[in-house]
Amino acid sequence: MARGALTQQQKDRRRYLLIYAGLTPFVFMAVFPLYWMLITAFKQDPDLYRMENIPFWFNMAPTLRHFNILFFQTNYGAWIVNTMTIAAWVAVITLVTAVPAGYALARLRLPGAENIAISVFMTYLVPPIILFLPLSRVVAMLGLQDQWWALVVVYPTFTIPFGTWLLMGFFKTVPMEMEEAARVDGCGYLGAFVRVVLPVSLPGVLTAVIFAFTLSMQDFLYGLAFVAPGDQKPVPVGVPTELIRGDVYYWGSLMGAALLVGLPVAVLYNFFLDRFIQGITGGVGK
Amino acid sequence: MTPTSLQGGGPEPTARAAVVSVAAPARSRLVFQSQTSRRLAFGYLLLAPAVLYVLLLVGAPFLFSLYLAVSDANVGDPVATFIGAENFRAAIEMDVFWTALQNSVIFLVVAAIFKSLLGTSLAFLLLQEFPFKKLIRGVVVIPFTLPIAISVLAWKWMYDSQFSVINWVLSRAGLIGQYGTDSWPIWLGDPKLALLACIAVNVWRTFPFSAIVLLAGFTSVPLEVLDAAKVDGCSFFQRFRHVVAPMIFPILMIGFLFDTVFTLSDLSVVYLLTQGGPANASKILPVLAYQIGIQAGNLGRGAAIALFLVPLLAPAMFLFLRNLRRREY
C-alpha cells in the first residue's frame, strides 16, 4: 500500500518535471525581455556598451542615473500624470455610457437589442488605422489637437463597445427575480437598476474600469497621430518618440521608463485576462 | 375531458376575472401597455449615450474616411474637392503600395503559422494540472499584457545593430562571427531580416493570446458531455469530431479573427522598429497609410490606402459576425 502511494508520487513528480521542462522555453521567452529591460535600466553606460563582458549581470556598480535623467531632464513625470488623467477620464466616460447601455441591452427586452449589441461590439473591431485620419479632423474641429484631451475623446471609441459587451454579460447573470422583487416592493425601473442590480454587479463595473485603463495603455497610433507637443503625451507614446533623439539612444532611460509603467499595467491586466478573453469570444454570462 | 374544453382553457382566466370585476381586463391591459412603453423609453434612454458616442466617433468617421478617400484633402488645405477614385488609382500605381500589401500578407500568414504552433503547444501544457500553475500561467502571458509600444522598445534594444544581446549569445556560441563581419546579422538594418524581425515580435506578443483562447475553448466543453458521449459508446475520435470540435471551433474562430484584425491593422511594431525600412523592406499597409496621411499630410491618399485594408478584413469581420450570432442566440 505505502509503496504504491510512493510510486504514484514518483510518477507525479516525473510528470511535473516533464511539464516544467516543456514550459521553460515559454517562461524564458516571456521573462527575458523584462529582465533585459530591468538590468539595462540600472547599468552604467560603459557597462552597457562593452562587448567583452558577460552582459547578463552587473560588471560595474548599479546606478540610478538613468532614472535621474528620466525624471529631471525629460517630461516623463508629465507623461505619467497625463496617462493617469487620460485613463481616469476614459474610465468615467466608459462607465457613464457603458453601464446603462449594457443593462438596457441585457435586461429590458428592447426590440432589436441583439442587433444593437452585436453592432456595438463590431465597432470595437474597426481598426484605428482606418479611423485615425478622419478622427484627426474631428479632433481639429473640437479644437483639441496637440492636447491630451484629444485622447480622452478618442479612447472611448474602443472602451465603450468593449465595456458595453462586458457589462451586458455581467448583468445577464443577475437573477431576474431580484429585480422583479424590487419592483413589486415599489421600485421603478431606475430604482431597481440603481438599488438592486448595480450593487451586485460591482465586480463587473470594476472590471470595466480596469479595461478602460489597460486598453487605453495599449494604444499607440492615436497618441502618435494626435498629440505632438512633448509635454502632452501619454507614456507609451512619449517614451519611444521623445527619448530617442535622432540616432542617439538613451537605452538605460528608455528601458527604465518602459518598465516602470509597463510592468504594473501588465500585472493588472494579467488578473483580468480571463475576463478579456471571455468578453471577446462571446462567452458572456457563463 | 373533450378537446373542446382543452381549447377553451386559453380565455378561461379572462372569463374568471370578468366575474370578479368587469373593468379589470381593460385596466390591466392599459397598465401593462404603459409599463411596456415606459420600459422601452427607459431602455432607449439608457442606451442612447453609448450608441450616440459610437455613432459620432466611429460610424461618422468611418463614412468620413470614405469621403476623404475620394477627395484631395490635405493637412494644410481644409477645403477638399471631390476627385473620384484618383487616390485609389494613385495608390495602386505606387510600387511601395504593392510592396506594403505583399508584406502585410506575408506578415499575417507567417505570424499566424508560428503563433498557432507555439500557442497550441503552450495550451496543451497549461491544460495539465501541476503545482504553481496559476503563477506560471500569469508569467507566460506577460508579452500579451505589456503595452505594445513598451515591449517593442525592449526588442529594439535586443535587436541593436552593435549591442544586440541576441547576437552576443549567438557569437559566443560560435554561430555567427564578430561584430563588423558579414556574418554578424543586423536585424533591423538588413532588408532580408527586417520583416522577419518584426514578425518575430508580433509572434512573441500574441502567442500567449492564442494559447489562452485555445484553453478557453477546451475548458468550455463540459466534462459531463464528454462522459455522456463515452457512455454512449463514442470512440476518442468520434468524441473529438462530434463533441469537442463543434464546441471549441466557434471560440477558436473568434480568437483567430480577432488576431487577424489586430495583426493586419497594427502599426506600432513595424513603425517603432524600422519605420518600414530599410528601403521599404518591412513596409506594411498601416505604416504606409500613416506616413502618407500624417507625415506627408496627404489625408485623402492616406485614407485610401487604409481603406485597402477593408477588403482584407471584410471576410474576417463577416465570419466573426456569423459566429457571434450562432453562439449567442
Domain ranges of chain B: 3-69, 87-328
What pLDDT does residue A174 have?
82
Domain ranges of chain A: 2-63, 76-280
Beta-ladder partners of A249: A244
Q: Do B58 and A126 touch (CB under 8 A)?
A: yes
What pLDDT does residue B14 have?
42
What pLDDT does residue B31 have?
60
pLDDT band at A99 (very low <50, low <70, confident <90, very high): very high
Taking Cα atoms as reference points, which of A216, A242, A233, A217 lies closest to residue A70?
A: A242
The C-alpha cell 497550441 sits at B120
Mean pLDDT of chain B: 83
From residue B216, alpha-carbon distances to A173, A275, A276, B161, B211 in Å are 19, 11, 11, 40, 9
Q: Is the pLDDT of residue B214 over 50?
A: yes
Q: Rg of the Cα trace of chain B? A: 29
Phi-psi region of B298 (alpha: psi -120 to 50; beta: other; left: phi over 0): beta
Is the CB of residue A159 less than 8 Å from the CB of residue A90?
yes
**Cell for A281?**
469570444
Tell which of A11, A20, A26 to mutate to test the B interface (max B CBs under 10 Å).
Answer: A26
What's the sign of the alpha-carbon dihedral A134, A136, A137, A139?
positive
Q: Mark which residues 80-99 of A lie under 8 Å from B by CB.
A: 93, 96-98
Is the CB of residue B260 less than 8 Å from the CB of residue B108?
yes
Segment A73-80 mean pLDDT? 90
Tell which of B128, B145, B328 to mutate to test the A interface (max A CBs under 10 Å).
Answer: B145
**Cell for B232?**
454512449
Shortest distance between the Cα of B27 and any Cα of chain A, in A, equals 18
Q: Which of A31-45, A157-171, A247-261, B75-89 has the lowest mean pLDDT?
A: B75-89
pLDDT band at A82 (very low <50, low <70, confident <90, very high): very high
**Chain B CB within 8 Å of residue A106 CB:** no
What pLDDT does residue B106 have?
94
Kindly identify which residue of chain B lies nearest to residue A211, measuring between CA atoms.
Answer: B145
Tell which of B65, B77, B153, B159 to mutate to test the A interface (max A CBs under 10 Å).
Answer: B153
**Cell for A182?**
424590487
Q: Do A273 and B145 touch (CB under 8 A)?
A: yes
Q: Do A110 and B306 touch (CB under 8 A)?
A: no
Give DSSP secondary structure letters for A76-122: HHHHHHHHHHHHHHHHHHHHHHHHHHHHHHHHS--TTHHHHHHHHHH
**Angle between helix B133-140 and A2-42 (nearest 10):** 30
Tell which of B34, B40, B47, B269 to mutate to test the A interface (max A CBs under 10 Å).
Answer: B47
**Side chain identity at residue B21, one-letter code:** S
**Chain B CB within 8 Å of residue A5 CB:** no
**Chain A CB within 8 Å of residue B139 CB:** yes
Shortest distance between the Cα of B4 and any Cα of chain A, in A, equals 35
**Chain A CB within 8 Å of residue B125 CB:** yes
What pLDDT does residue B211 have?
92
Residue range B167-198, pLDDT digits in tens:
888 888 888 888 878 888 889 988 989 999 99
From residue B53, alpha-carbon distances to A16, A31, B61 in Å are 51, 39, 12
For residue B179, give the nearest of A51, A93, A135 by CB distance: A51
What pLDDT does residue B143 have?
93
Q: Mark which residues 227-256 of A lie under 8 Å from B by CB.
A: 235-237, 239-240, 249, 251, 254-255
Q: Do B154 and A31 touch (CB under 8 A)?
A: no
Q: Is the pLDDT of residue A207 over 60?
A: yes
Burial pattern B232-241, b for ≥16 Cβ within 10 A else e, equals eebeeeebee
What pLDDT does residue A26 have?
95
**Side chain identity at residue B327, one-letter code:** R
**Chain A CB within 8 Å of residue B315 CB:** no
pLDDT band at B17 (very low <50, low <70, confident <90, very high): very low
Q: Is the pLDDT of residue B12 over 50?
A: no
What pLDDT does residue B19 have?
42
**E strands in chain A:** 244-245, 248-249
H-state helical runs in chain B: 3-7, 12-20, 24-54, 60-69, 86-93, 95-127, 133-140, 142-145, 148-158, 165-172, 194-219, 223-231, 236-239, 245-265, 268-273, 285-290, 299-307, 309-328
pLDDT band at B21 (very low <50, low <70, confident <90, very high): very low
Shortest distance between the Cα of B1 and any Cα of chain A, in A, equals 36
Q: Mark which residues 209-228 of A lie under 8 Å from B by CB.
A: 214, 217-218, 220-221, 224-225
Beta-ladder partners of B82: B71
Pairwise CA distance, residues B137 & A51, whole Å: 34
Q: Is the pLDDT of residue A271 over 80?
A: yes
Q: What is the DSSP letter of A244?
A: E
Q: Do A49 and B149 touch (CB under 8 A)?
A: no
CB pairs under 8 A between A and B: 287
CATH homologous superfamily for the domain A76-280: MetI-like (1.10.3720.10)
Q: What are residue A279's phi and psi, to 5 degrees?
A: -60, -55
* CATH 1.10.3720.10 describes domain B87-328: yes
**Chain A CB within 8 Å of residue B57 CB:** yes
All residues of chain A having their beta carbon less than 8 Å from the beta carbon of residue B151 are 33, 258, 262
**Chain B CB within 8 Å of residue A109 CB:** yes
* A50 SS3 class: coil
Q: Mark which residues 135-194 of A lie under 8 Å from B by CB.
A: 135-138, 153-154, 156-157, 160-161, 164, 189-190
Segment A81-97 mean pLDDT? 94
For residue B146, give the nearest of A127, A237, A262 by CB distance: A262
**Chain A CB within 8 Å of residue B324 CB:** yes
Task: Tell me whether 0.90 is exceeded by the ipTM.
Answer: no
